[in-house]
Amino acid sequence: MTLIASSRTIARSTEKDWRAHLPPIVLGGIIAAAALILVAYLLWPTWDAEKGGGPARLPVSVGSTLFNVPSASIRMKIQRHTGPQERIDLSFSYPSLLPPDAPKRVSASTVEETVQPIDRIFLSIAAHHDALAPEERIRTIFPRYLEQTRTVGEDGMTMRAFREGSPYSGEDLFFASSPNMVARCSREAATPGMCLSERRIEGADLTFRFPRSWLAQWREVADAMDRLTQELRVSK
């Protein structure tokens, strides 16, 4: 009987001890859950901010030359970061010179309906590594391959064709002053003719690309390229 009584006493004591520890355990669980909820609440705005996108402009160094580039104008996602880069490719709506809107999704059935005229001016900025400057190429290389005849337009722009069989066959050279502008353009064919206009800014070469048809307003295009150069360049 004594043994049975002792067993019952131990059981009641154990049950009492377990009940005594229950409130602290429950309280600890509540505190831990509250802490997790608080951490999640504090971090949630950060997650949303990262999804919303980065800064409006990025400082980018090309050829040790600093440019302040609109993030939305960068064409390749891999180039969308700060710091030194070998090359960066941009596009801007014309004539506003604002970053273009995001491209719309198209399907195979609607692709022909969504084809629009080119309304963007493209710009590539690349380190030149002491290669021949664009101005030197115009002065010393191009004349070797140009036809002797030239056509002077009423708008003040002169055109000279490149000779057939030359490295620039199928292209024409346009140049004018007031404002100064030089562009090498492919001729209209199955695809629209495109023009290249280059300039050097310290350690970087800037190459603008735009439709040949824009030469009808070449002064406005020249002004747009000058404005973009000034807006992107970071003055020392």
Question: C-alpha angle with apex 56: 195 to 49, nearest 5 degrees?
Answer: 140
Alpha-carbon torsion angle 160, 165, 171, 175, nearest 10 = -30
Torsion angle, CA of 100/54/126/225, rounded to 10 degrees?
40
pLDDT for residue 10: 47
pLDDT of 165 over the 50 cut: yes
Per-residue confidence (pLDDT) for residue 3, from 0 to 100? 42
Q: Which structure tokens are listed for 183?
A: 């562009």
Two structure tokens written together for 151: 């056509």
Answering whether pTM is above 0.85, one says no
pLDDT in tens, 141-155: 999 999 999 999 989
Among 178, 221, 229, 219, smallest CA distance to 196 is for: 221
What are the distances in angstroms from CA 1 to CA 4, 7, 21, 77, 218?
A: 5, 10, 31, 84, 114
What is d(CA 35, CA 25) in angstroms, rounded to the nearest whole number?
Answer: 15
